[in-house]
Amino acid sequence: MQKSLSVYDSDGSTFAPLVVIELVSETKEEAIAWLLNRVRDKQQDGGAELLVEQLTPGAQGTEKDNPNVYVVGASWQRLLYGAEDVGLFKEFNDGSMRGFTYANKHNFKEFQGDGDGFLSMAECQYIIKHELDNLRAKDEAHVPGYPKMKLYPGKSVIRRMQSKGILVQVFPLHEKEELKRLSFSWFKKIKLSFQPLDDIRHYFGEGMALYFGFLEYFTLALIPMALIGIPYYLFDWEDYDKFTVFAGFNLVWCTVILELWKRLSASLAYGWGTLSRKKAFEEPRPGFHGVLGVNPVTGRAEPLYSNAKRQLRIYLVSVPFVLLCLYLSLYVMMIYFDMEGWALMIHDEEPTFWTGLLLFIPSIIYAVVIEIMNLIYRYAAEFLTGWENHRLESTFQNHLVLKVLVFNFFNCFASLFYIAFVMQDMVLLRQSLATLLITSQILNQIMEAFLPYWLQRRRNKKAHKRMIKTMEDKELPLSEQVKLEADMSTYLGTFDDYLELFLLFGYVSLFSCVYPLAAVLVVLNNVTEVYSDAFKMCKVFKRPFSEPAANIGVWQLAFEAMSVIAVVTNCALIGMSPKVKSYFPESETQLILWVVGFEHFLLASKFILTFVIPDVPKHIQIKLSRLEFESLEALKKRKMLEASGIPKTAK
Amino acid sequence: MQKSLSVYDSDGSTFAPLVVIELVSETKEEAIAWLLNRVRDKQQDGGAELLVEQLTPGAQGTEKDNPNVYVVGASWQRLLYGAEDVGLFKEFNDGSMRGFTYANKHNFKEFQGDGDGFLSMAECQYIIKHELDNLRAKDEAHVPGYPKMKLYPGKSVIRRMQSKGILVQVFPLHEKEELKRLSFSWFKKIKLSFQPLDDIRHYFGEGMALYFGFLEYFTLALIPMALIGIPYYLFDWEDYDKFTVFAGFNLVWCTVILELWKRLSASLAYGWGTLSRKKAFEEPRPGFHGVLGVNPVTGRAEPLYSNAKRQLRIYLVSVPFVLLCLYLSLYVMMIYFDMEGWALMIHDEEPTFWTGLLLFIPSIIYAVVIEIMNLIYRYAAEFLTGWENHRLESTFQNHLVLKVLVFNFFNCFASLFYIAFVMQDMVLLRQSLATLLITSQILNQIMEAFLPYWLQRRRNKKAHKRMIKTMEDKELPLSEQVKLEADMSTYLGTFDDYLELFLLFGYVSLFSCVYPLAAVLVVLNNVTEVYSDAFKMCKVFKRPFSEPAANIGVWQLAFEAMSVIAVVTNCALIGMSPKVKSYFPESETQLILWVVGFEHFLLASKFILTFVIPDVPKHIQIKLSRLEFESLEALKKRKMLEASGIPKTAK
């Protein structure tokens, strides 16, 4: 890692600043001094052993600037020990991926000299974040100067200061040079190529790289569907025969691509060293509160919150709230159908071009309303899940995802289900699907990238008018860069991005056989999505801390659930096609029984397929089991030596 | 462990004989000498470091007795090292279960003095088997005296001798005293009580104890069903209203009991120390053959067999064979229906008591034929799976189980499905179900326990006429006991026992709502099954090596698949009931759509339930994560010490 900017630490030696800590400007001196000492203290004394300095305001520093901004770095040796601490996997000399250990460092492939350049900046920042989070109170009863900010032995200092609001933010710095290179290879050159996943992972971490990998994979997987869809649309193949073929294709497609993605993601994660990495022990999330007690697992003092109370909150408040929202969504849907009927009535009275256009207005309004409802619900769900007071970030996320998914699925698709299976109006279904899809895509692109960018530009213009101009050509001083980045919006994780893909996947897999152009639209959307997401990561948001991830987690499950629902809807659509109906002229019962039988067969095959296709490709399985075998053998050898040694001395 | 019998080893000291090795009587001297030396050699020299002596023929020894019978034992120290080797979990001082290590031995709860009595005899025998299996060839090119019996470095000696037929058998010895105690508490006292699972595990190992635990659990779980079933039968509640209630109960029942069993089995396995025990690296199974190559995982020389060839054998031979068998089974079913029609015709012509009895004859014949077909197919499947040449015992077992399950399911239930859903004849369904169930239960009990016992008694009478008489009252000399046990049948594992339970579960869960007495019959059968299984394990078969197991493995999956099918059939039966039909007087289509919708809802709830109920009870989860946390902390502490030590020396 080469870093042009550097800071002098208290000994007078320089260090590369990696992470910024911002405290509120009125923080008491004694709290700051205490925090900095704890960060600098040696590990044996319970410190984090990091380097930290106050940011010296630059030439353009004004009175209004917050003076309590600190940059944190660490010596190379400290970072390498930290890499072992967090359990980083790196490529070994023999080409396998192994957990890095300091003692063994020279046997790792890319380790040269004193290890400068062995860790990427994103990894260093992740290590520093880990070490800061693990800085724990010793015998302090409270944060010095703040008697109300209680501490107890083992409480994470940073988390307590964050939850009490003296710590404004902790964020990693961008790396101008590398960011420029990454932006160029990623979205600035207009060239059809795969995304530079390894570079993305290098700069933003595995979680982000997996998102972009999945986005790309999903887009590529849609291409065959889009290609089949185009002639359907162009030649206006409206006969239901071909439509059945398309539904059948849909079925196979959505099962197969999800299975293959699992394998691909395992390959990627293996190459990045996250596949076999052990999960670290999970700490309570910052917002978690409760009565101080003893954690039965760690034996540490920790707030406890009774599970019964949480269940009560979930079942007595959250579940009824979600049901109420679903009811509201149904109500809005009914208003939409009223509007639809009203527009149709006007068009029937005066069938002109303008009234024909009017036919699309209800769908567009409905699409906009859906987006707004999704947005509001998103905040409500977050508040509610926070209030449920989950101990771990992962359970918090699971409950949030579940709440949001159920509502969004219902909100987006309920009207389509109603049109398809209750009204059985294929023309309206097609029109409604098209309007919903296109409107939501346009809204999303605006909300997601252009709005934040525009907001930020406006903010920047006010605050750093002069700087923006010079930013492009010459190197900014560190203090200015830090201030600039501190003002950027915070990226809130891949949740919303995955959610968007999930809904698009729904549009394509559930009903696209009635509107084959859906796949084409989604492909086009995804292509622009790649660019706008890349743009927002590089230009709009603060750099996020890299998040090690071995797979896309709960989203794999969500997509699989969607593909199961897709089997059901596609079978039903096939059963409703006149062509299929004509095979059973005399008995509708026979038809339904056949369709249901076929559907059960497909579902069964789907589950068997999921079971039969191994989730990890063979060659990676072999590599993993070789590592495991070697460590078993090493253990055995060590034991054997002990066994042959000890009896002799015992005699 | 107290063992009254003992053998003098070559040094003149005594040891308790644990395992018997029998070689064919004409084995060459040099091969025997070599094998014994390898078994006795120190571990550093690649030996097994066990004690082994030839069995001295007793007073009644005749010329015909095989002289090449050897008993194997080991010193206590060797066994304790072996326990660490195989990764045994034992109760620690603080009540948690931990991997046993020799260095830490005094911190384990039951470790007293020099460790005599710390390991059960079954554990010692398992350790010896493990050490014998891991006795590997060094640089011998072949077994001395047998140039054709090729060896290569790393080949398991015992497995090679077994597959080439010089090694007749390796089996553990029974322990008369403990067996007597176990038999008494298990099946000799006529008292309603739970089975002594801990004692069974102590004597036969975890795999067997889990089988008996499951059998008992299954029986208890059936009791509420049986209790509900009795009034149905007694009061002849034939109206379909109550029948629907029963089907609904069935649905919930079979989902819930399987989920609860998972938790119960996790609790049992935790207490026995097998839950978190790591699986040892799996060796190729004895029958596996191929061209000598290098295993990509272990790097050892090993026969390799191309996966493509195996797939060809599976898809071109095994699958068509299974399909052919299914067709044959269908053909037999059709003959049964012809017979049924013919019996009905006779009864219609002359409706007397005797022709009424004749009505049951076809079902009984069919039930017997089904059992015979299952038996023949079982051998064919075993042969075929062996011929497929799977590398691992576990994949061999999976393929065998799959083959057998598919055929048995089809063979036993196809006629019932046909009667229920094609003929829609509920009276015939009830009659057929009852006859099939009762006949197969009677046949099974005969085949399983009484036949082997009778055969063995006959064999014993011939060979050891005098001994049998004296066996009951006085202690047999070791040589006689070994000979007696060597002649007993070998227990082939729990496969057939689980298969029987699986089919019974099918009878109860799939159709029992039309014949509520089924649950009662199965409960009765299971009660006798416990006794006959216990009897056969203690009296009929050779003692099996204990098999560590954390759950019932592939059978859990099989039972869950059955319960999914049960949801489908019960929904269909409910839909066919006149009561439900009367709710939709005008439209059969509506009825079917409602039933299908209900079924989908149930299936979805079932999957969500499986997902939501944790497989391991909370208190065990906490114990497991505490262990994990402690080992992580210990690792961290060790690293911290190193980190603070190394830099100083580096400076």
Q: Are B492 and B207 in contact (CB under 8 A)?
A: no
Note the pLDDT of residue A57: 66
Residue A336 half-sphere exposure, CB side, CA atoms within 13 Å?
28
Instruction: Find the closest chain B residue to A85 by CA distance.
Output: B636
The 10s digit of each residue's pLDDT in B135-146 is 888 888 888 888
The DSSP H or E segment spanning B256 is helix B240-271
Beta bridge partners of A136: A156
B43–A626 CB contact, under 8 Å: no
Q: Give me B67's structure tokens.
A: 């002289």
Q: Assign B3 a pLDDT band (cuts: 50, 70, 90).
A: very low
Interface contact B643-A588, CB threshold 8 A: no
Are the C-beta atoms of B373 and B329 separated by less than 8 Å?
Answer: yes
| Half-sphere exposure in the Cβ direction for A516 (13 Å, CA) | 27
d(CA B577, CA A501): 45
User: How many contacts, defined by CB atoms under 8 Å, are there between A and B?
Assistant: 72
- B326 token code pair: 């299914």
Residue B364 CA from chain centroid, whole number: 29
Cα–Cα–Cα angle for A22, A28, A31, rounded to 5 degrees: 75
> CB of B86 within 8 A of CB of B280?
yes
The chain A residue lying nearest B644, using CA atoms, is A44
Query: In this predicted model, which residue has the larger pLDDT, A450 or B570?
Result: B570
Predicted confidence (pLDDT) per residue in B193-226, tens digit:
778 888 899 899 999 999 999 999 999 999 988 8
Which residue shows structure tokens 């197919």? B377
Low-confidence winner among A354-368, A622-636, B590-604 (lowest mean pLDDT): A622-636
Q: What is the mean pLDDT of chain A?
A: 84
State the Cα–Cα distance between residues A272 and A201, nearest whole angstrom: 8
Q: Summarize chain A as % helix, strand, coil (round to 5).
A: 65, 10, 25
Cα radius of gyration rounded to whole Å, chain B: 29
Q: Among residues B399, B385, B422, B407, which one has the least CA distance to residue B327?
A: B407
pLDDT at position A647 is 47
User: What's the count of helices (H) and strands (E) in chain A, helices before strands?
Assistant: 23, 12
Name which of B35, B293, B311, B70 is nearest B164 in CA terms: B35
Tell me the Cα Rg of chain A.
Answer: 29
> What tens digit of pLDDT does each residue of B230-244 get?
887 777 666 656 667
Q: Are A643 and B103 a contacting pair at CB < 8 A? A: no
| Prediction pTM value | 0.87
The confidence band for A103, taking pLDDT boundaries of 50, 70 and 90, is: confident
For residue A8, what pLDDT is reported? 58
**Each residue of A17-38: pLDDT tens digit?**
889 999 998 888 899 999 999 9
* Window B:260-289, CB contacts with A under 8 Å: 281
Higher pLDDT, A302 or B403: B403
Confidence of residue B19 (pLDDT cuts 50, 70, 90): very high
- Within an 8 Å CB–CB cutoff, is residue A629 touching chain B? yes
Type and span of the H or E element at B52: strand B51-54
Tell me how close the Cα of A123 comes to any Cα of chain B, in angstroms. 19
Binary contact (B103, A646; C-beta < 8 A): yes
Contact A50, A468 (CB under 8 A): no
What is this model's ipTM? Answer: 0.84
| β-pair partners for A503 | none
Which of A85, A297, A588 minimises the CB distance to B589?
A: A588
**Minimum-distance CB partner of A43 among B43, B296, B640:** B640
Q: Note the Cα B417 to chain centre separation in Å.
A: 29
User: Is residue A506 within 8 Å of residue A409, measured between CB atoms?
Assistant: yes
pLDDT of residue B408: 94
Contact B593 A589 (CB under 8 A): no
pLDDT > 70 in chain B, percent: 90
Model confidence at A238, in pLDDT bands (50, 70, 90)?
low
pLDDT (average), residues A71-92 = 88
Contact B640 A281 (CB under 8 A): no
Give the pLDDT band of residue B333 (cuts 50, 70, 90): very high
For the segment B72-80, the average pLDDT, to the nearest whole number, is 89
Question: What is the dihedral angle through the alpha carbons of B106, B109, B113, B116, rounded to the nearest 10 degrees?
Answer: -110
Is residue B451 pLDDT above 60, yes or no? yes
Whole-angstrom Cα distance, residue B51 to residue B60? 26
Using pLDDT thresholds of 50, 70 and 90, give the confidence band for residue A1: very low
Query: What are the pLDDT digits (tens) for B278-308?
Result: 776 777 887 788 888 888 888 877 888 888 9
Q: How confident is the model at residue B419 (pLDDT cuts 50, 70, 90)?
A: very high
Q: Does A649 touch chain B (CB under 8 A)?
A: no
Helix (H, G, I), strand (E, B) or coil at B19: strand
pLDDT band of residue B469 (cuts 50, 70, 90) is very low
**Joined tokens for residue A521:** 């639209």
- Give, rounded to a whole angstrom, the gap between the first and last alpha carbons of chain A: 56
The one-character DSSP state at A59 is: T
Q: Is A593 on the interface with B (CB under 8 A)?
A: yes
Q: Is the pLDDT of residue A405 over 90?
A: yes
- What is the enclosing helix (H) or strand (E) of A338? helix A319-349
* Better-scored residue on pLDDT, A644 or A515: A515
Tell me what pLDDT residue A559 has. Answer: 94
Task: Give yes or no for a contact between A207 and A549, defined as CB atoms under 8 angstroms apart.
Answer: yes
Q: Do A644 and B43 touch (CB under 8 A)?
A: yes
Is B640 an interface residue toward A (CB < 8 Å)? yes
Per the DSSP assignment, residues forming a β-bridge with A303 are A292
Q: Which of B45, B94, B600, B627 to mutate to test the interface with A (most CBs of A within 10 A)?
A: B600
The answer to whether the Cβ–Cβ distance between B102 and A568 falls below 8 Å is no
Which token pair is A453?
């960018």
Task: Enter the tokens of residue B259.
Answer: 């989920």
CB contact under 8 A, A297 and B626: yes
Q: CA B90, CA B83: separation in Å to the nearest integer?
A: 10
How distant is the alpha carbon of residue B50 from its chain centre? 29
pLDDT at A650 over 70: no
Q: What is the pLDDT of residue B266?
A: 93
- Rounded CA gap, B46 and A304, in Å? 54
Averaged confidence pLDDT in chain B: 84
Per residue, the 3-state secondary structure of A337-392, as one string, reads HHHHHHHHHHHHHCCCHHHHHHCCHHHHHHHHHHHHHHHHHHHHHHHHHHHCCCCE
How far is residue A424 from each of residues A242, A347, A430, A576, A613, measured CA to CA in Å? 18, 21, 11, 8, 37
Q: What pLDDT does B465 receive?
A: 52
pLDDT band at A239 (very low <50, low <70, confident <90, very high): low
Q: Would you state the structure tokens that stand for residue A619, as one six-digit string? A: 């060659």
* Cβ atoms of B91 and B99 closer than 8 Å: no
Question: Which of A629, A631, A635, A648 should we substitute to test contact with B (largest number of B Cβ atoms within 10 Å)?
Answer: A629
* Contact assignment for A646 to B281 by CB distance below 8 Å: no
Q: What is the 3-state secondary structure (H, E, C) of B199-235?
A: HHHHHHCHHHHHHHHHHHHHHHHHHHHHHHHHHHHHC
CB pair distance less than 8 Å for A643 and B102: yes
Q: Which two tokens stand for residue B310?
A: 């195996």
Average pLDDT over residues B603-620: 88
> In 3D, which of A254, A119, A121 has the Cα closest to residue A175?
A121
Q: What is the pLDDT of residues A485-506, one digit of tens each?
A: 888 888 888 888 899 999 999 9
Question: What is the arithmetic mean of pLDDT over A158-163?
Answer: 86
